[in-house]
Amino acid sequence: MLRPVRWLAKLLYWPLKPLVRCKIVPDAVKENLELNPNQPVFYITRTESASDLATLVRICHKLGLPDPLQPVQFGASWLPRVLFLEQPHVLWGARAATTALEQGLTLLQTQQRHPELQAQLVPVSVLWGRAPGKENSIKSVLGESESPSWLAKLFIVLISGRHTLVRFSRPVSVGEMIAQTEVNTETAHKLLRVARVHFYRQRLAATGPKLPDRSALFNALLGSDRLKQAIEDEARSKQIPVSEARAEALKLLQEIAADYRESTLRLGDRLLGWLWQRLYNGIVINNSKVLTELVQKGHEIVYVPCHRSHMDYLLLSYVIYHQGLAPPHIAAGINLNFWPVGSLFRRGGAFFIRRSFSGNKLYSAVFREYLSQLFSKGYPVKYYSEGGRSRTGRLLQPKTGMLAMTVQAMLKGIDRPISLVPVYLGYEHVMEVNTYLKELKGSGKEKESIGGVFSAIRKLRDYGYGYVNFGQPIALTQFINQQQPDWRDSLTDDPAKPAWLNPLVANLADQLMRRVNQSAALNSINMIATVLLATRQHSLPRQELERQLAFYQQLHQQAPYAALVTKAEGTAEQWVEHALKLQKIQQHHDSFGPIIQLTAEQAITMSYYRNNVSHLFVVPALLATALLQHHELSTVQLKNIIQLIQPLLADELFLQLDTLDSYLQQLLDAMQEAGLIEQQQGHYSAVPVQQAGHRMLELLAFNAQDILQRYAVVLNLLSDTPLSREELEQKSQQMAKRLNTLHGVSSPEYLDKNLFATLVNALKQAGYCQLTDQNALIAGSSAQPVQQTVNALLHAEVLQTVLSIVKGH
């Protein structure tokens, strides 16, 4: 059966070339497949199609892979290299029987006879177009059949040929397969069933489920028991007819629901491809293989990225689309639903959410039912658990509403596993950063409008690199099983709000944020910002700057914060040149050589990029501070200092140190090897001030000073007199501003009103403060060691200012 399709594929090879343009995933196919060229290679694909085979031949020639048209010598036999699962449909009559079973059985039997030849079976999906199709649509009959007839395939190639997706999956070892079972017809059947499931999942992952008719979807949602009850409650509470309440619910659905269209995605793909080329030197993507693994396991993916910029909406969806996966439905703030952008976002998969549900039970019910429908249908979803964009560059404390609704949807009985994928988004330039600083200084938030869009377009320039790092996913069912083993027994007829839901969701949100930070991206800009902002005048001789940058790179190579944290590519000299090109720094010359400097405006904006990765430097900075402030310390003493402060860091910076002892030792070894510290008789100390390493240690230590100052302010205030939470937060911020004025600290997080609120929560959770009978906060007995430790780590002049202000109160 292969011979006719082989010759037809040869005939179609050149005629198809101008009609077909393929997106091949993964990008580095040969590296990802890890094929052994000395062992037989076979391909398995879904449908026996000449156009599919001609396309596969062209791609294999391009990638340097074995030719699908050439038979394989397997032992003493010559076998076809391609195994087809199905015959195509025919225009009339029954389609021919497939030879897949015979081919599969022959392959297994030959492998059994020649165990020394480890055959490699590579699944290849060829998808003509990425349209999911609509339910009950004539298009699904003609253009989206799994195994279309030659006539339907002709239309498919003409319409969708230039939007073809070809995905190569990791090869299956035939030898390992037969080692686990007997070789017979039943085994061959099992192989084919597994392959069919694989190709079904590949198609579903690339296109998403079929889309329902919009009006039919709304009618189905309005007809659900929960929403009908909510409509009746609304009518009763407002004393209006049920029909009027139903009309209001329909209006809310129209406000919320996405209107996903594949044509908009195609247009967006072209526009964004042009935009990224104009804006960025490149988009760096890391750990995307985790998505492929989840897809192959049949998981529904919920993307939970950090939120830095409005660009996040576009960048992440674009990256996901180019990984060969269906772009997710995106929870977008209602502020983005303005003409004409709102309509485009909605057609690209955005559904809109109000900032608050409070006081509107009908809206809450409508939104929950819509979100539950997305999950039950199997659409990938993306939302930002921070709720809004970070104005300081640090992760915000997460909002748990969307996560809670995700868990509730699972409790209602979704039949697929759900995995939450944290995503770190990083930029070398965030175009809203100046607006963020204005907002932190008290100016009102600018309302999004079409004028703002045109203004942003006029300012487009070279923004350096963008980074998309996929973190370690959380399997939702497994997480709930670990946190609440008996959760199934605790469910009632209405599982909407079990008693354990809120604490579990809070823990889940915290874990997601920690995993976002565990997949951070170090780059030239945030590393240069970290170095220069540690100097009083925000300037350094270029040679000294490059030496410090090289040390930071070495530090993170020898003592990695987490396995998924990515390091900057290139050399320190190249990073400085890159930052100069992006106009992030200034270079001046005197008779002694070049000096790199930040202007006053650059220093403020660069603090945003430093804060993106501040969690990666805080522990080494605390070690450096301790060794500068004390004559010498043992490993145990250094560990005690970190352990006392760690609970506060964990809340503020979402710090996750799984192996503290080994991490600290790796840091100390790296600092000693770089000549910053020395060890004698089990004690560590800073190198003498005359050595270059002493200055490098000071620059490293500075990265902990802002945090220590805030901790000292709050801890010393609490130890002085009981204060209400509002008084404590207000006085803390006032003191921080005074420290900024007196000691020259200028950092956007000092202007963030939520920063001290987060710190107070961390103090309470760690048991470092407690409530009096008058509901005021006072330091607990366990706070004194922390206070003494923090005070001892501060520079003398800063500590004196803190203590004098506290006594003055």
pLDDT at 734 (0 to 100): 81
Question: Of 21-35, 87-101, 140-154, 725-739, where does mean pLDDT reach its minimum?
Answer: 140-154
pLDDT reading at 1 higher than 50: no
pLDDT at 305 (0 to 100): 97
Ordered DSSP codes for 538-579: SEEEHHHHHHHHHHHHHHHHHS-S-TTPBPPPS-HHHHHHHH
Q: In this structure, is the dihedral angle defined by the CA atoms of residues 705, 709, 710 and 715, taken in order, positive or negative?
A: positive
* Whole-number Å distance between alpha carbons of 186 and 273: 48
pLDDT at 458 (0 to 100): 56
pLDDT band of residue 543 (cuts 50, 70, 90) is: very high
pLDDT band of residue 478 (cuts 50, 70, 90) is: very high
Asked if 126 and 25 count as a contact pair (C-beta separation under 8 A), the reply is no
Fold of 522-612: Arc Repressor Mutant, subunit A (1.10.10)
Q: Is 700 left (phi over 0), alpha (psi -120 to 50) or beta?
A: alpha
* Whole-number Å distance between alpha carbons of 208 and 210: 7
Residue range 293-312: average pLDDT? 92
Q: Tell me the per-residue pLDDT of 102-125, one tens digit each, with 9 for 90 and over.
A: 989 999 999 999 888 899 999 999
pLDDT at 141 (0 to 100): 44
pLDDT band of residue 806 (cuts 50, 70, 90) is: confident
pLDDT at 31 (0 to 100): 85
Residue range 211-224: average pLDDT? 90
Q: How far is CA 742 from CA 187, 739, 795, in A?
A: 77, 5, 13
CA-based angle 510:512:517, to the nearest 5? 100
Q: Tell me the per-residue pLDDT of 659-687, one tens digit each, with 9 for 90 and over.
A: 899 999 999 999 999 999 999 988 999 99
Amino acid making up residue 638: L
pLDDT reading at 144 higher than 70: no
pLDDT higher at 304 or 458? 304
Q: Tell me the per-residue pLDDT of 336-385, one tens digit each, with 9 for 90 and over.
A: 888 888 888 999 999 999 988 877 899 999 999 999 999 988 899 999 99
pLDDT band of residue 139 (cuts 50, 70, 90) is: very low
* Whole-number Å distance between alpha carbons of 192 and 186: 10
Residue range 158-163: average pLDDT? 90
Asked if 741 and 681 count as a contact pair (C-beta separation under 8 A), the reply is no
CATH number of 261-516: 3.40.1130
Q: In this structure, is the dihedral angle defined by the CA atoms of residues 484, 488, 489 and 491, taken in order, positive or negative?
A: positive
pLDDT reading at 143 higher than 60: no
Report phi then psi at 44, rounded to 5: -130, 130
Q: Which residues pair with 282 in a beta bridge?
A: 465
pTM over 0.85: yes
Sheet with 677-680, edge to edge strand ranges:
633-634, 683-686, 677-680
- Tell me the longest C-alpha to C-alpha distance in the chain: 95
Strands 82-86 and 282-286, by their bridges, are unpaired
* Whole-number Å distance between alpha carbons of 383 and 393: 18
Q: Tell me the per-residue pLDDT of 571-599, one tens digit each, with 9 for 90 and over.
A: 999 999 999 999 999 999 998 999 999 99
* Whole-number Å distance between alpha carbons of 788 and 711: 11
pLDDT band of residue 760 (cuts 50, 70, 90) is: confident
pLDDT at 745 (0 to 100): 54
Structural domain boundaries in the chain: 2-207, 261-516, 522-612, 619-809
Asked if 119 and 38 count as a contact pair (C-beta separation under 8 A), the reply is no
* Whole-number Å distance between alpha carbons of 168 and 174: 17
Residue range 680-704: average pLDDT? 95
Amino acid making up residue 600: A
Report percent pLDDT > 70 for the chain: 93
Contacts of 178 (CB under 8 A, 6+ apart): 108, 111, 112, 187
The radius of gyration of the chain's CA atoms, rounded to the nearest angstrom, is 30
- Tell me how far apart the terminal alpha carbons of the chain are, to the nearest angstrom: 91
pLDDT higher at 544 or 443? 544
pLDDT band of residue 481 (cuts 50, 70, 90) is: very high
HEC profile of 48-88:
CCHHHHHHHHHHHHHHCCCCCCCCEEECCEEECCEEEEECC
pLDDT higher at 279 or 622? 622
pLDDT higher at 131 or 608? 608
CA proximity to 157, closest of 129, 199, 134, 133 = 129
pLDDT at 135 (0 to 100): 64
CA proximity to 512, closest of 411, 405, 403 = 403
User: What is the rounded average pLDDT for all residues in the chain?
Assistant: 89
Burial 724-755 (b: 16+ CB within 10 A, else e): ebeebbebbbebbeebbeeeebebbbbbbeeb
